[in-house]
Amino acid sequence: MPSSSASRPPETRAVPAPKLAERYRGIRSFSERLCAPLETEDFVVQSMPDVSPTRWHLAHTTWFFETFVLSPAKESYSPFHPDFSYLFNSYYEQVGAQFPRPRRGLLTRPTVREVMAYRAHVDEQMSRVLDDPDRTSRFHTVIDTGLHHEQQHQELMLTDIKHVFSCNPLGPQYCPPPASTDQETTTMGWRAFDEGLREIGHAGTSFCYDNERPQHRVFVPAFEIATRLVTNGEFAEFIADDGYARPELWLSDGWHTVQRESWESPLYWERRADGWWHHTLFGRCPIAAAEPVCHLSYFEADAYARWVGARLPTEAEWETATNAAESLESANCVDDGRFHPRAAVVAQPDAITQMYGDVWEWTASPYTPYPGFEPLAGALGEYNGKFMCNQHVLRGGSCATSRTHIRASYRNFFPPAARWQFSGLRLARQP
Amino acid sequence: MPSSSASRPPETRAVPAPKLAERYRGIRSFSERLCAPLETEDFVVQSMPDVSPTRWHLAHTTWFFETFVLSPAKESYSPFHPDFSYLFNSYYEQVGAQFPRPRRGLLTRPTVREVMAYRAHVDEQMSRVLDDPDRTSRFHTVIDTGLHHEQQHQELMLTDIKHVFSCNPLGPQYCPPPASTDQETTTMGWRAFDEGLREIGHAGTSFCYDNERPQHRVFVPAFEIATRLVTNGEFAEFIADDGYARPELWLSDGWHTVQRESWESPLYWERRADGWWHHTLFGRCPIAAAEPVCHLSYFEADAYARWVGARLPTEAEWETATNAAESLESANCVDDGRFHPRAAVVAQPDAITQMYGDVWEWTASPYTPYPGFEPLAGALGEYNGKFMCNQHVLRGGSCATSRTHIRASYRNFFPPAARWQFSGLRLARQP
Amino acid sequence: MPSSSASRPPETRAVPAPKLAERYRGIRSFSERLCAPLETEDFVVQSMPDVSPTRWHLAHTTWFFETFVLSPAKESYSPFHPDFSYLFNSYYEQVGAQFPRPRRGLLTRPTVREVMAYRAHVDEQMSRVLDDPDRTSRFHTVIDTGLHHEQQHQELMLTDIKHVFSCNPLGPQYCPPPASTDQETTTMGWRAFDEGLREIGHAGTSFCYDNERPQHRVFVPAFEIATRLVTNGEFAEFIADDGYARPELWLSDGWHTVQRESWESPLYWERRADGWWHHTLFGRCPIAAAEPVCHLSYFEADAYARWVGARLPTEAEWETATNAAESLESANCVDDGRFHPRAAVVAQPDAITQMYGDVWEWTASPYTPYPGFEPLAGALGEYNGKFMCNQHVLRGGSCATSRTHIRASYRNFFPPAARWQFSGLRLARQP
Amino acid sequence: MPSSSASRPPETRAVPAPKLAERYRGIRSFSERLCAPLETEDFVVQSMPDVSPTRWHLAHTTWFFETFVLSPAKESYSPFHPDFSYLFNSYYEQVGAQFPRPRRGLLTRPTVREVMAYRAHVDEQMSRVLDDPDRTSRFHTVIDTGLHHEQQHQELMLTDIKHVFSCNPLGPQYCPPPASTDQETTTMGWRAFDEGLREIGHAGTSFCYDNERPQHRVFVPAFEIATRLVTNGEFAEFIADDGYARPELWLSDGWHTVQRESWESPLYWERRADGWWHHTLFGRCPIAAAEPVCHLSYFEADAYARWVGARLPTEAEWETATNAAESLESANCVDDGRFHPRAAVVAQPDAITQMYGDVWEWTASPYTPYPGFEPLAGALGEYNGKFMCNQHVLRGGSCATSRTHIRASYRNFFPPAARWQFSGLRLARQP
């Protein structure tokens, strides 16, 4: 049998962000380019309840435009298929009933071909809206939201297919490995910040999600933050020091999770005779010591920080530091087509690096509303606000995030046991 | 979008049973013809742990020939793919470890195309064995077993895809509906048998499974058996009489199952304003009163029998009656391409009809070894014997069974709560 | 703290079976004597869903007489407490709703003192019925059933408190250990029986349960049966030969149970540096090699038999052999106050011993209705019939069974994974 | 049978807080007085994993003094029983292994009498330590912690026995009902606070838990807070307005909990023909409209606040308001022996009432470490810190809390779905 070899990865250039119509076409087609390496069978499977089939992502993001733009924008518009609103609504209770999430992987129809036809149909209809300045301006915010929404799902498509492939003993590859991963681990420095009242959150008129508003003042005590992410090599020392077997290092819920799930390493790691290997989007390979550690739960990030005598930064600390850090331009984002974290390079000894891209950084902050938070009106108010419980904030984006999607005030959030995202950590400490 | 319309069903003629090589080709290609109506996506899904993806059935039946014929028959034979024995071994502990059954639906590779290449490769290798009279004779029994095994999986392919499609609100169809289903319900007669020592089980040298041997004597008290199967219309009366809400009609385990699963009707039935509908291989449609009721658990069959003042036949009673019944030739089998049970037609008032085909008939008999039962030697000894606990015997085949696969002594078995097979019932009673 | 020492065991003499009133008093008071070693706290706990608190057994057996005798016998009778029928009905759907079985251990009231008052009240009322020859004769069968029912619960009280105590690291004792357990293991002989039509089941007018009727003919092929039970020492060899790690020895359901439950030995066995220990009603102690092995599931009994090249007897074989075996008089029953199985003693080389008492013997027979079986009318028809699925028959009684309760045709039944009863095995084989 | 009538409640006077030895005696004996109404059987049961048997609380609090004071204080001290450390350690991993929490209700030994002997023994030993000024001073903090720990378990004894009794259809009572519960509902006013940097947390040398330190500055935006708790009558309006059936009012996790648990009202509420009743420590009775609503989860408190157009206060807001509120002296605490929340009484229109006692108030704040938080050294560091995930802070104490136990900076915490505590809510809003 021809082995499950890697196809060419999608061509990836940074997408500039000019006119809305152009952005629409660029982002929509990028979703499809990300699917280029997949076989039809790959689009169908849901390997755990958190994962969605690729086909579902492609249809759901399309349903978003149909539901929130085309239907209200065009009186005569009738949905492409009467059952798609039920099938492809994720969690918008105010839009209507939803096909049960854990059963998404039971659907074999509509087929990939039919979903692509759905996308083409909606894109065609959207192009008419986007050709009409009045309607474009009336729906500008919603369309913008829909594009950011699609970019979020592009990241999920990658993390979900990575999980699907991890279940297969044949070890399918999504893309070829990066040219080289050998690299020295750079020294981790610390950067100090004084206490002060900080402005946190998004200001101005550019796009952001409702959960980034309102900008508000937070008193942030003095703190120090690490100049780079924690690496695979450093995390392997934690394992070697019995980190997964010492309850005093863990939160109580984390310890129970470790026991229940028999965790002994990050997700996708595998102990072999010659050391730690891991599953990546280019197949199974030895870990590279200098690369940022990835696929950690909050519990593991927190336990590592405790072991090393430090802690995770709060989101206010993270945002404070980011505003003093290197630019987004040099970050390792999905646009670069690496699909994998990259070792830090030292520019200057105290430069804060890797704030954007590579891996999402778990913060110490539970996901809560900012003072005065107002969710959007209507169904889109369910986008963020209703998840503000039992989740922690992650910051900075990952190697699966678009450069045009991330920003300093961006708040991602996942439950503390989740680890199928590209999630890692940066340390902080008291001065 | 093109609706999920029905393709042409596979062409279905009764397969004669002459030379082994010809039978091999006929049965193997029938598996592939049964897949003709499917889209690639349909081959991937496992809608519950009992169900396997179509792709898996196609590969597993191929693995059977590779493992039990090609490997022992040809010293130089090396398996098509080193991981397939792990992926496609179902439950043969003596062959080696097995990929966990409930995770079969997580595999997207090998693709359908690759599985078909696997089939072609094995068929090519098998044709060389079958061209060689010595090896054919040495492996005759195992090849015969492999062909019957494949026929069993053909039935499972149909029942499994029926279940997969039932999960989809779009209601995909596997085949077009039969020409007409309107028909009068015939009177149910009773045929009496005297007590006597009966020879039960398979004798002679023709193929049978090990669980049908040895033939042995059983003292069967006098009994009466119904001349046809219980119908949809009759079962609907049981429901209308609150059959699913009256604990005195049920076995204790059955009653708990009804409560836990909220059963209110057979599997696939749906109460609509205009009466009972059900999901079939040709989509959703109203039930036909005269057709045999189907997709019952043992618990439901047993409760219905108690409600009507009768009982289920034992397997010895069933086998006794079958030897006095109509021939297999007129049965509604998979070869006829109907893929659905058919109403009984009265030949003569006391003729026993529908013993073969239509629906498997639950018997009152738990699945146990016959006196002196010896499982086959080696791994094939796991085929039947190890399941002789907590299952009940079903007899007679269904509309998804091949005519060349079924016989009077054939013992099928499922746990009492299973109902995704084409399973129904025939009544018996004390004289 | 005073250690959890053993109190005096209840005084135990064989209870003769003369007049009904005398039997009533004898059996009812025996229940209370069995409780003498218990602390108040011991009456409350339900250590798993199969177990009931001692208090519940005491009240439920009393409810039986109240419901099935006092209420119908005396028009003016009003129940002792309006809620007790709900609390102490076990599973009689036709009597009314039942407090959920798995929650019996959540009730702290009525207290032990109140339950004893309930017993005294019902006993007082029953003594008036028993003083009245007319009513005694009218309710003779039901009272007889109630007494056998109470004897069944006496056995459960012992097996349940044994389980409750097993959960406690303090190792409470119910009774002092037997004087001596050292004994040679006797040779296991085989006794052959010819094939033949056998009369199986209970005939005549003496008491039996409905599931033992009607007596009927069964053709029993020739067989051989072991002259004694399998011992602890023999079972330890099975373990030493990796019996629990070899799937080929197990039924499929058994193998899955072994894996899921991590079974490595019979229930209550514990591997220590100096060999196997087990939990008994007199605390933890080393196993005695010559004593019958106990607390086996059907799966373990079946796997052991397969390992040794034999099988379990069917219930027809067992009943055939018992009618040729030693008398009940010499059996080790609860009346003897040992509360533990006893090593076999050879009388004559081919004498069949230990058919009664010591341990219940798993048979190869699933629990099914005899041909022509008719459950009792009314709620008492739920006593046995509705459990005829997914259970296996055990025969012969145990060291926790009353000598006046057991007989050759007696059919006990439990699911194949159950092992908290005193259950072991005897071998059979083809001649 | 004597019905499950209420005994006299424990005599309850406010315990003054003078010398440590006197406090020790007062608090320890109060635990025992709280048990006075219980029957022996009541001490045994664990009605859900969150609940512990009363006997366990009595022993665990004693183990605390034995482990953290007697063993380190007296070289010659040997534990009362070698297994008690295993049985009665709750969750201190650094002390050693723990008997599994969900199995506490399976233990029938040690008996109540033996646990009381354990208490007497430890009290006797502790009195010698407390007679010795040197050791008293060396262990002052630990003993103080042990006494506060015991007061926490006194509250749990009440909430746990309330839950145990709720499982019993007989409706046992712990205490007689309060003299009168009829009362007018007072108007709910709002009190405004300006924005500002606030000092939050405990300062000074008096006792507090480690999670209340260090005192630190928080910028608190302007807010308004309600002058009293939300009442039963107000919450009943939320139910009547379909509050439990409208997903838009709920956090996503809350909505799933409502669905999964079929919640339709607060815990212990029951809809009857004549309105809402609830289970209380004095039995089942109609709710009193003016009393604070109780036994709410965080999810219900949050949904109610959203429905009414308000929100929950943060813990910084709550602490800010409390420092401006009425004294602890007038609060309804356990010392008052009511064991039930009490309707608010208006002193002055804008006086903030009910901050202490009655019901714990859910805050909007997830339970996180204060900036610079340092857990205690050693095993006592596990007391609070390791629970700082997936829990929310509650403030102010309840009718089951001792007046000498609560304070403005006190942080209680529970997972958002917990509702067997006396937990309710107070509203806050943006100005």
DSSP state at residue D251: -
| Interface contact B47, partner A, CB < 8 A | yes
**D6 has pLDDT over 50:** no
pLDDT at D169 (0 to 100): 96
Cβ separation of B40 and A42 shorter than 8 Å?
no
CA angle A309, A314, A315 (to 5 degrees): 150
A345/A326 Cα distance (integer angstroms): 12
Distances (CA, A) of D16 to A261, B393, C416, D13, D62: 48, 76, 62, 9, 22
Query: H or E stretch including B197?
Result: strand B196-200
Cβ separation of B107 and A167 shorter than 8 Å?
yes
pLDDT at B8 (0 to 100): 40
| Interface contact D111, partner C, CB < 8 A | yes
**A55 has pLDDT over 90:** yes
pLDDT at B18 (0 to 100): 53
User: Structure tokens of C14?
Assistant: 């064989």
Alpha carbon of residue D135 to chain centroid: 31
What's the mean pLDDT when you consider all of chain A?
Answer: 93
pLDDT at C325 (0 to 100): 74
What's the mean pLDDT when you consider all of chain D?
Answer: 93
**D403 has pLDDT over 80:** yes
pLDDT at B74 (0 to 100): 85
Cβ separation of D251 and A389 shorter than 8 Å?
yes
Cβ separation of A83 and B118 shorter than 8 Å?
no
Q: Among B40, B3, B51, B288, which Cα is nearest to B166's?
A: B51
**D12 has pLDDT over 50:** no
B neighbour chains, 3+ CB pairs within 8 Å: A, C
Would you tell me how many other CB atoms lie within 10 Å of the CB of residue A405?
Answer: 23
- Radius of gyration of the CA atoms of chain D, in A: 22
What is the share, in percent, of chain C residues with pLDDT greater than 70?
Answer: 95
Residues D297-333: pLDDT tens digits? 999 999 999 999 999 999 999 999 998 876 899 999 9
| Interface contact A366, partner D, CB < 8 A | yes
Distance from CA of A17 to the nearest CA of B (A): 32
* CB-based touch D/A (3+ pairs, under 8 A): yes
Query: H or E stretch including D394?
Result: strand D392-395
| Interface contact B103, partner A, CB < 8 A | yes
- Residue holding tokens 């997580």? B106
Cβ separation of B167 and A109 shorter than 8 Å?
no
User: Structure tokens of A396?
Assistant: 């900075």
Cis omega (within 30 of 0) for bond into C214:
yes
Would you tell me how many other CB atoms lie within 10 Å of the CB of residue B222?
Answer: 14
Alpha carbon of residue B383 to chain centroid: 15
pLDDT at A326 (0 to 100): 66
pLDDT at D184 (0 to 100): 87
Interface test with C, best of B218, B252, B306 (most C CBs within 10 A): B252
pLDDT at B348 (0 to 100): 83
pLDDT at B9 (0 to 100): 41
In this complex, the residue of A39, A108, A164 whose CB is nearest that of residue B39 is: A108
pLDDT at C324 (0 to 100): 80
Reported as a pLDDT band with limits 50, 70 and 90, residue A151 is: very high
DSSP state at residue C361: E
Q: Among D70, D52, D36, D147, which Cα is nearest to D106's?
A: D52
Reported as a pLDDT band with limits 50, 70 and 90, residue D137 is: very high
Reported as a pLDDT band with limits 50, 70 and 90, residue C167 is: very high
Cβ atoms D358, D323 nearer than 8 A:
no
Distances (CA, A) of B417 to B211, B296, C8, C415: 22, 9, 48, 16
pLDDT at C74 (0 to 100): 85
Distance from CA of A128 to the nearest CA of B (A): 20
D405/D170 Cα distance (integer angstroms): 34
Find the mean pLDDT for residues C350-370.
96
B369/D235 Cα distance (integer angstroms): 64
Find the mean pLDDT for residues A415-420.
98
Cβ separation of C111 and D39 shorter than 8 Å?
yes
Distance from CA of D118 to the nearest CA of C (A): 7
pLDDT at D241 (0 to 100): 98
In this complex, the residue of B86, B164, B169 whose CB is nearest that of residue A83 is: B169
| Interface contact C81, partner D, CB < 8 A | yes
Number of A to D CB contacts under 8 A, please give it.
78
Distance from CA of C47 to the nearest CA of D (A): 6
Cβ atoms D128, D22 nearer than 8 A:
no
Cβ separation of B39 and A109 shorter than 8 Å?
yes
Cβ separation of A110 and B44 shorter than 8 Å?
no
Find the mean pLDDT for residues A151-173.
97
| Interface contact A373, partner D, CB < 8 A | no
Report residues of chain B scoring pLDDT below 70: 1-18, 181-182, 326
B429/C289 Cα distance (integer angstroms): 50
Cβ separation of C2 and D170 shorter than 8 Å?
no
- Chain B residue with minimal CA distance to A117? B1
Q: Among D183, D180, D190, which Cα is nearest to D343's?
A: D183
Residue C81, CB half-sphere, CA atoms under 13 Å: how many?
24
User: Structure tokens of D360?
Assistant: 């714990």
User: Structure tokens of C387?
Assistant: 């459990």
Please write down the HEC assignment for all residues of B62-106: HHHHHHHHHHHHCCCCCCCCCCHHHHHCCCCCCCCCCCCHHHHHH
* Residue A98, Cβ density class (10 Å: 0-12 exposed, 13-18 middle, ≥19 buried): middle
pLDDT at D254 (0 to 100): 98
In this complex, the residue of C93, C253, C388 whose CB is nearest that of residue B251 is: C388
Q: Which amino acid would we find at residue D387? A: F
pLDDT at D75 (0 to 100): 84
Would you tell me how many other CB atoms lie within 10 Å of the CB of residue D278?
Answer: 21
Interface test with A, best of D390, D391, D392 (most A CBs within 10 A): D390
pLDDT at C326 (0 to 100): 66
Distance from CA of B329 to the nearest CA of C (A): 33
Distance from CA of A217 to the nearest CA of D (A): 7
DSSP state at residue D404: T
pLDDT at D10 (0 to 100): 43
Helices (H), C79-174: 84-88, 112-130, 133-138, 140-166
Domains and CATH numbers, chain C: 17-166 (1.20.120), 190-429 (3.90.1580.10)
Interface test with B, best of A80, A108, A116, A170 (most B CBs within 10 A): A108
Distance from CA of D45 to the nearest CA of A (A): 24
In this complex, the residue of C81, C108, C168 whose CB is nearest that of residue D41 is: C108
Residues C123-154: pLDDT tens digits? 999 999 999 999 999 999 999 999 999 999 99
Q: Among B199, B196, B63, which Cα is nearest to B122's?
A: B63
Q: Among C400, C317, C331, C401, which Cα is nearest to C362's?
A: C317
DSSP reduced 3-state for D200: strand
Cβ separation of A103 and B167 shorter than 8 Å?
yes
Number of C to D CB contacts under 8 A, please give it.
107
Phi/psi for B362 (5° steps) reads -65, 130
Cα dihedral across residues C283, C288, C291, C296: positive or negative: positive
B40/B314 Cα distance (integer angstroms): 43
D89/C141 Cα distance (integer angstroms): 54
Q: What is the DSSP string of D333-363?
A: -GGGT--S------SSTT----SSBSSEEEE
Beta bridge partners of B272: B275
What is the share, in percent, of chain C residues with pLDDT greater than 90?
Answer: 87
- Chain A residue with minimal CA distance to B53? A106
Helices (H), B175-245: 232-240
pLDDT at A74 (0 to 100): 85
Which chain D residues are Cβ-neighbours of A366 within 8 angstroms?
A: 366, 368
Cβ atoms C6, C174 nearer than 8 A:
yes
**D421 has pLDDT over 70:** yes
- Chain A residue with minimal CA distance to D218? A219
Query: Residues 238 to 257 of B: which have CB under 8 A from any C CB?
Result: 247-248, 250-255
Residue D89, CB half-sphere, CA atoms under 13 Å: how many?
20
Residues A22-36: pLDDT tens digits? 999 999 999 999 999
In this complex, the residue of A4, A81, A108 whose CB is nearest that of residue B41 is: A108
pLDDT at A375 (0 to 100): 94
Would you tell me how many other CB atoms lie within 10 Å of the CB of residue D214?
Answer: 15
D neighbour chains, 3+ CB pairs within 8 Å: A, C
**A21 has pLDDT over 70:** yes
Interface test with B, best of C194, C198, C258, C389 (most B CBs within 10 A): C389
* CB-based touch D/C (3+ pairs, under 8 A): yes
Residues D261-285: pLDDT tens digits? 999 999 999 999 999 999 999 999 9
User: Structure tokens of B239?
Assistant: 């429901």
| Interface contact C212, partner D, CB < 8 A | no
Residues A306-365: pLDDT tens digits? 999 999 999 999 999 998 876 899 999 999 999 999 999 877 888 999 999 999 999 999
Residues A296-312: pLDDT tens digits? 999 999 999 999 999 99
Which chain A residues are Cβ-neighbours of B40 within 8 angstroms?
A: 40-41, 111-112
**C12 has pLDDT over 70:** no
What is the predicted ipTM? 0.93
Q: Which amino acid would we find at residue A426? A: R
Interface test with C, best of B50, B211, B213, B219 (most C CBs within 10 A): B219
pLDDT at D349 (0 to 100): 80
* Residue B288, Cβ density class (10 Å: 0-12 exposed, 13-18 middle, ≥19 buried): buried
Q: Which of A84-88, B420-424, C379-383, D200-204 has the lowest mean pLDDT?
A: C379-383
Cβ atoms B54, B38 nearer than 8 A:
yes
Q: Among D100, D90, D115, which Cα is nearest to D40's?
A: D115
